[in-house]
Amino acid sequence: MLHKLPLQINSRRTQINHFRSASLFSKHKPPRSRFHRFLRYYYWRLVRQKGSPEFLARGLAAGVFAGLFPLFGLQTILGVALAILFRGNKWMAVAGTWISNPLTYGPIFWLNFEVGQWLLKSHEVFELERIQSTTALLEVGADFLMILGLGCLVMASLSAFLSYFFGIKLIRRWRTLHRDWHRRHHPRR
């Protein structure tokens, strides 16, 4: 009768595989929550966007441009429309509009107002309460809106220009790093 040799439980390969599956660096960890899974899905969807770096950067620049205007609720629509107009990636435009979010509204619009005030040599006072909503923004005076609009236009143009070139550089760098990592860890046979 042939006896099968017992599987060595403590072989080096088994120990390594057991360590990998139990380590913090395991690729197959279950998501912590639905929200974590949602964020991870959209993060990878954004990172794996197809297209040339210029195409992706045009979308990012369109989103950043739209995100620096006080058009609450319309920034994403404006960003996607600009991405379509300039033939950029629509998902990158949506991501670019998040440059202004509830944490950054105040500082961004204060800076835009200060730039507009400096360019027009005005002495209008900036109060954050005046721009809490679109209706409140429409109720303030024309001088305030003109100062804020000019500041937004100048800062949005500058930021879009910088984000376009920074985006190209960042996307190329990320793709190079990803390609090199993939070649090291998954060599062709």
CA–CA gap between residue 150 and residue 9 (Å, rounded): 72
Q: Give the pLDDT confidence of 22-33 residue by residue, as tens digits.
A: 545 555 566 578
CA–CA gap between residue 103 and residue 117 (Å, rounded): 23
Mean pLDDT over 112-131 rounds to: 81
- 184: pLDDT confidence band, cut at 50, 70 and 90? confident
Q: Give the pLDDT confidence of 26-71 residue by residue, as tens digits.
A: 555 665 788 888 878 877 777 777 888 899 999 999 999 999 998 8
What angle is formed at CA 164 by the lines to CA 53 and CA 117, rounded to 5 degrees?
A: 170
